[in-house]
């Protein structure tokens, strides 16, 4: 039977999944990106310095990642020498955005796949906010409301966590995380100007000076976030894993892993990074080569040529193209399907022994959960890799503040060159993010973005190879084929952002 | 300009048309404990959006997002928060839009691809179809963010979808529903949530050009704490300088919003405090034209503004 489980909620944007289910097992899945804007077209002819502003509007969840990728691309195009402080401020802004994004993803976007909201009705503890929420749910369910306790109910049918205490703790943290995510965003806004959509990020640094007033506020806010990560976020993931251990083995993508590396240690973009870049394919790591990326459009709604490199990129929308089912293109690395995101970032680093802390954390939690590093390619693996990333990034950000020289420059000086080109590569929270800018006559001649969810939620490519999410869904057993909470859990583990994927 | 008495009278009429039966006075309203049964439901739909406005709404400070969602409004559907999904979610939306589930306000984030309806689809149906159907049943609509109020970035010059604002969409459809525009890329959470509180407790807020006067009556430039620098001609000349950011291209003189007094992220900061020129994200012309870049003086021949070029005398009346 064919079942459309879209629109899938609790993710960014417009995603549908068309599945074929036989004997309660998904045998085929198609991922459909359903919203198109065309950034790469309307960026042409604009001032190059508009780019880090406009590309932030690709995504309001991870705008800073786009600002940073665009800044890197422009720095390369302008041949900029970036002051050490400028790079540190970029890192402080981007790193804090990752912490916000991981918390939002686990609590607001994923937790309701596992946590039983109705457990709150049994609460009789002292917490005022939980009590208020309980009374609200009670009033809602008693008031003949058409959809009581929306948006938290109704929900898909399936098994939820059984232990009342664990559920209530998770719900308490759902509420608390909303306060903590604000702290991460306040921290990034100190140097970004505001969140979402920072105005203070530029190629070569940012416009806010790193004085003690700002640095001490930043440290205090990040310390509070770090505390929550250790005391609540990590234990909550382990609690979910304790009740749903089968999800260490559900939702494996069947391709390679790609990471562009995150948070450089020095002002030069080829400095070592906190998370190393690399391609992991059949247990072998290779260096990233941007020219090995091609974007297929056989099943994407574009009439422009298929298989173009990033530098050649073209975009001609064709909404009624026969056979096409998605606005997302199908990027492939050397023709291979790639998963990007937290699991890719951690695995690529782990297999290179780049960051000892990552190796230690992976081994520690694999031991606790009784899994191997290979199981990070799974629903729970992706959740755990976000939490490990959060731990590593929070520590790094606090250390990074100590490397600021408050007397030194924090912003490069420059004029826009008449012509130039450059790649900018980083990791958004959702994975590998690449921007490319080509400037001629002081204007943007070409701008291309290859974005994390473009990889993960891609449709089939010219060789009919399904995308990473499509492969991860196939073979999944679903109790209720009409609703498929199991498939929803897999989709959510990728943290799709469709505004990013299509842009 | 109407006086307060006339305004309240008007608000009462409008509130009655929303089905809000009791209209307390402003002072009473501020003190009144909200009756959850009287709080309107909110159906929040996204068009050509980036979700930045939704994320901004979660940054609300007082009241915070949980209170806003459960106590001050009843957010019955939001794609980023709703537990429901798939057909179950479509059914919920349909129950409201058909009018069967009772009174509701529609909140819309993002623009509408007028020229290419397939460029925004929810559950195999163009987003535009939901808006047309909802116009017959909703109490009113709130356009959240500059994409919804003016087209914003998706409507930038050279776009391929003919992206339009909610107001323009309904105008072209020859429908005239009650609309409140809350611009900003992204919106400030207060601008949206407090407009909703106003709707619930007092009635329709006073609007200028469709925007709540409470937040959008004066220009960033007029309220700017660096206005003194502007008068003294103490200008930032390069990125990262302090002083008035006018010569770097600051669009504060063109933009109506209360950022200078409200600040962002719970009062932590705002663009100009971070020495970042205002890019006019709440302005109708935000990012609209290729030949009007956000910043000046970085390419040869760039126009340098002079203070006399701007009329800073008055805000909107």
B4 pLDDT more than 80: no
Q: Would you place residue B26 in the very low, low, confident or very high pLDDT band (cuts 50, 70, 90)?
A: very low
Query: Count of A–B CB contacts within 8 Å?
Result: 308
Residues 178-207 of A with CB under 8 A from B: 178-179, 181-182, 185-186, 189-200, 202, 204-207
Residue B145 within any structural domain of the chain: yes
Judge if B38 and B128 occupy the same domain.
yes
Comparing alpha-carbon positions, the chain B residue that sits nearest to A156 is B84
What confidence score (pLDDT) does residue B24 get?
36
Give the active site residues of B. Answer: 50, 53, 147, 185, 221, 224, 244, 250, 259, 271, 278, 281
Nearest to B51 among A12, A140, A190 (CB): A12
Q: Which of B214, B236, B257 is the last residue of a domain?
A: B214
When the pLDDT of each residue in chain B is averaged and rounded to a whole number, the result is: 87
Question: Residue B202 — pLDDT band, cuts 50, 70, 90?
Answer: confident
Contact B70 A156 (CB under 8 A): no
The per-residue pLDDT for range B242-271, each reduced to its tens digit, is 999 999 999 999 999 999 999 999 999 999
C-alpha separations of A248 from A88, A305, A382, A450, B3 in Å: 36, 39, 9, 29, 65
Specify the pLDDT at position B296: 84
Residue B137 domain-assigned?
A: yes
Chain A residues inside the 8 Å CB shell of B55: 60-61, 104, 196
- Please state the rounded mean pLDDT for residues A309-314: 98
| Interchain CB distance below 8 Å, B118 and A5 | no
Whether B200 and B250 map to the same domain: the answer is no
**Do both B222 and B210 map to the same domain?**
no
- Interface contact B59-A146, CB threshold 8 A: no
Residue B6 is predicted with a pLDDT of: 42
Residues B138 and B64 in one domain: yes
Q: Do A499 and B51 touch (CB under 8 A)?
A: yes
Residues in chain B closer than 8 A to A186 (CB atoms): 265-266, 268-269
Same domain, B294 and B274: yes
Could you say which residues from 405 to 464 on chain A have a Cβ atom under 8 Å away from some Cβ of chain B?
409-411, 413-416, 442
Percent of chain B with pLDDT over 70: 81
Chain A nearest-CA residue for B44? A151
How many CA atoms, within 13 angstroms, populate the side-chain half-sphere of residue A425?
Answer: 20
Nearest to A411 among B95, B154, B240 (CB): B240
Assess whether B157 and B28 both reside in one domain: yes
Three-state DSSP string of chain B: CCCHHHHHHHHHHHHHHHCCCCCCCHHHHHHCCCCHHHCCEEEEEECECCCHHHHHHCCCCCCCHHHHHHHHCEEEEECCCCCCCHHHHHHHHHHHHCCCCCCEEEEEECEEECCCHHHEEECCEEHHHHHHHHCCCCCEEEEECHHHHHCCHHHCCCCCCCEECHHHHHHHCCCCCCEEEECCCCCCHHHHHHHHHHHHHCCCCCEECCEEHHHHCCEHHHHCCCHHHHHCCCECCCCCCCCECHHHCCCHHHCECCHHHHCECCCCECHHHHCCCCCCCCCCCCCCCCCCCCCCCCCCCCCCCCHHHCCCCCCCC
Does the residue B297 lie in any domain?
Answer: yes
Which percentage of chain A shows pLDDT scores above 70?
100
Q: Do B275 and A13 touch (CB under 8 A)?
A: no
- The answer on pLDDT for B12 being more than 80 is no
pLDDT at residue B245, as a whole number: 96
Examine residue B285 and state whether it is found in any structural domain, yes or no. yes
pLDDT of residue B21 exceeding 80: no
Query: What does the pLDDT read at residue B20?
Result: 36
What pLDDT sits at residue B316?
A: 60
The confidence band for B8, taking pLDDT boundaries of 50, 70 and 90, is: very low
Quick one: pLDDT band at residue A143, thresholds 50, 70, 90?
confident
- Output the domain CATH number for residue B145: 3.40.50.700
Q: Which residue has the higher pLDDT, B309 or B21?
A: B309
B71-120 residue pLDDT tens: 888 899 999 999 999 999 999 999 999 999 999 999 999 999 999 999 99
Question: Does pLDDT of B34 surpass 60?
Answer: no
Average pLDDT over chain A, rounded to whole?
A: 97
Average pLDDT on A431-444 reads 97
Domain boundary among B159, B194, B214: B214
Say which CATH number the domain at B239 has: 4.10.480.10
Q: Are A387 and A393 within 8 A, CB to CB?
A: no
List of domains in chain A:
2-143+163-255+355-449+478-502 (1.10.645.10)
Average pLDDT over residues A220-224: 98
| C-alpha distance from B176 to closest chain A C-alpha (Å) | 26
Output the pLDDT for position B301. Answer: 57
Residues B174 and B32 in one domain: yes
Q: Is residue B163 part of a domain?
A: yes
Whether B65 sits inside 8 A of A178 (CB atoms) is: yes
Residue B313 has pLDDT above 90, yes or no: no
CA–chain centroid gap for A94, Å, is: 12
Residue B53 — pLDDT band, cuts 50, 70, 90? very high
B317: in domain:
no
- Last residue in a domain, options B214, B238, B262: B214
Q: Are residues B209 and B277 in the same domain?
A: no
Residue B8 lies in a domain: yes
Query: Do B45 and B125 have their domain in common?
Result: yes
Question: Residues of A with CB below 8 A from B273's CB?
Answer: 193, 208
Enclosing domain of residue B232: 218-312
Min distance B210 CA to chain A CA atoms (Å): 24
Number of domains chain B contains: 2
Distance from the B51 Cα atom to the nearest Cα atom in chain A, whole angstroms = 5
Contacts of B37 in chain A (CB under 8 A): 143
Is the domain of B169 the same as that of B261? no
Mean pLDDT on A405-424 = 95
- Say whether the ipTM exceeds 0.90: yes
Cβ separation of A4 and B86 shorter than 8 Å?
A: yes
pLDDT greater than 60 at residue A10: yes
Tell me, yes or no, whether B241 and B192 share the same domain: no
With an 8 Å Cβ cutoff, are A146 and B58 in contact?
no
Task: Note whether B40 and B173 are same-domain residues.
Answer: yes
**Residue B40: its pLDDT value, please?**
77
Q: What angle do CA A485, A238, A130 make, to 5 degrees?
A: 75
- pLDDT at residue number B237: 92
CB-closest option in B240, B264, B287 to A410: B240
Residue B120 to residue A8, Cβ atoms within 8 A: no
pLDDT digits (tens, 9 = 90+) for A20-50: 999 999 999 999 999 999 999 999 999 999 9
Report the alpha-carbon distance of residue A107 to residue A193 in Å, rounded: 26
Cα–Cα distance, A77 to A315 (Å, whole number) = 22
């Amino acid at each position: 039977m064919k079942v459309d489980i879209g629109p899938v909620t609790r993710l960014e944007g417009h995603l549908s999944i068309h599945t074929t289910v036989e004997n309660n097992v998904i045998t085929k899945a198609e991922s459909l990106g359903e919203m198109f804007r065309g950034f790469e077209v309307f960026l042409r002819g604009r001032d190059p310095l508009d780019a880090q502003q406009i590309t932030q509007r690709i995504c309001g969840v991870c705008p800073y990642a786009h600002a940073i990728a665009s800044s890197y691309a422009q720095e390369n195009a302008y041949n900029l020498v970036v002051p050490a402080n400028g790079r540190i401020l970029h890192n402080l802004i981007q790193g804090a955005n990752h912490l916000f994004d991981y918390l939002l993803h686990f609590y607001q976007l994923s937790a309701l796949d596992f946590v039983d909201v109705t457990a709150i009705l049994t609460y009789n503890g002292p917490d005022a906010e939980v009590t208020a929420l309980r009374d609200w749910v009670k009033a809602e369910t008693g008031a003949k409301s058409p959809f009581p306790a929306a948006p938290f109910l109704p929900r898909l049918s399936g098994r939820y966590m059984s232990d009342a205490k664990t559920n209530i703790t998770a719900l308490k943290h759902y509420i608390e995380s909303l306060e903590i995510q604000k702290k991460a965003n306040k921290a990034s806004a100190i140097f970004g100007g505001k969140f979402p959509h920072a105005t203070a990020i530029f190629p070569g640094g940012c416009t806010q000076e790193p004085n003690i007033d700002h640095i001490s506020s930043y440290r205090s806010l990040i310390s509070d976030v770090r505390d929550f990560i250790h005391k609540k976020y990590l234990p909550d993931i382990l609690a979910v894993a304790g009740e749903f251990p089968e999800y260490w083995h559900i939702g494996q993508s069947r391709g390679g892993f790609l990471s562009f590396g995150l948070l450089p240690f020095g002002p030069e973009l080829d400095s070592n990074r906190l998370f190393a870049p690399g391609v992991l394919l059949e247990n072998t790591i290779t260096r990233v080569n941007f020219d090995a990326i091609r974007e297929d459009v056989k099943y994407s709604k574009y009439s422009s040529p298929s298989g173009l490199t990033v530098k050649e990129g073209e975009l001609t929308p064709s909404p009624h193209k026969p056979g096409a089912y998605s606005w997302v293109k199908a990027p492939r690395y050397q023709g291979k399907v790639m998963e990007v995101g937290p699991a890719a970032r951690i695995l690529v680093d782990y297999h290179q022994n780049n960051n000892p802390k990552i190796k230690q954390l992976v081994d520690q939690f694999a031991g606790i959960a009784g899994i191997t590093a290979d199981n990070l390619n799974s629903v729970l693996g992706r959740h755990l890799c976000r939490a490990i990333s959060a731990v590593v990034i929070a520590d790094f950000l606090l250390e990074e503040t100590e490397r600021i020289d408050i007397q030194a420059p924090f912003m490069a000086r420059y004029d826009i060159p008449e012509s130039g080109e450059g790649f900018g590569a980083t990791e958004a929270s959702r994975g590998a993010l690449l921007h490319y800018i080509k400037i001629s006559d002081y204007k943007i001649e070409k701008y291309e973005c290859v974005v994390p969810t473009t990889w993960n939620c891609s449709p089939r490519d010219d060789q009919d190879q399904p995308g990473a999410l499509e492969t991860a869904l196939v073979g999944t057993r679903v109790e209720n084929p009409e609703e498929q909470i199991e498939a929803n859990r897999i989709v959510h583990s990728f943290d799709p952002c469709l505004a990013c994927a299509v842009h | 300009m109407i006086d307060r008495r006339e305004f309240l009278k008007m608000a009462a009429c409008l509130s009655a048309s929303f089905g809000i039966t009791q209209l307390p006075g402003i002072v009473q309203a501020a003190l009144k404990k909200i009756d959850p049964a009287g709080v309107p439901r909110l159906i929040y739909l996204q068009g050509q959006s980036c979700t930045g406005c939704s994320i901004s709404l979660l940054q609300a400070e007082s009241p915070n997002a949980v209170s806003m969602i459960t106590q001050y409004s009843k957010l019955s559907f939001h794609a980023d928060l709703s537990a429901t999904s798939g057909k179950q979610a479509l059914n919920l939306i349909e129950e409201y839009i058909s009018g069967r589930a009772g009174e509701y306000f529609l909140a819309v984030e993002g623009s509408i691809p007028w020229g290419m309806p397939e460029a925004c689809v929810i559950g195999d149906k163009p987003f535009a179809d939901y808006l047309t159907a909802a116009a017959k049943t909703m109490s009113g609509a709130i356009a959240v963010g500059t994409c919804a109020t003016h087209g914003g970035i998706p409507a930038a010059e050279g776009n391929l979808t003919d992206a339009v604002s909610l107001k323009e969409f309904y105008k072209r459809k020859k429908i005239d529903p009650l609309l409140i525009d809350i611009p900003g890329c992204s919106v400030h959470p207060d601008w949206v949530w407090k407009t909703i509180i106003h709707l619930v407790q007092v009635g329709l807020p006073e609007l200028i050009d469709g925007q709540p006067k409470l937040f959008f009556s004066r220009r960033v430039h007029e309220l700017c704490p660096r206005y003194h620098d502007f008068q003294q001609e103490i200008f930032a000349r390069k990125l990262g300088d302090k002083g008035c950011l006018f010569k770097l291209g600051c669009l504060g003189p063109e933009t109506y919003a209360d950022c200078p007094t409200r600040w962002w992220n719970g009062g932590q900061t705002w663009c100009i405090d971070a020495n970042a020129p205002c890019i006019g994200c709440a302005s109708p012309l935000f990012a609209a034209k290729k030949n009007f870049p956000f910043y000046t003086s970085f390419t040869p021949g760039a126009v340098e503004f002079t203070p006399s070029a701007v009329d800073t005398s008055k805000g909107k009346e």
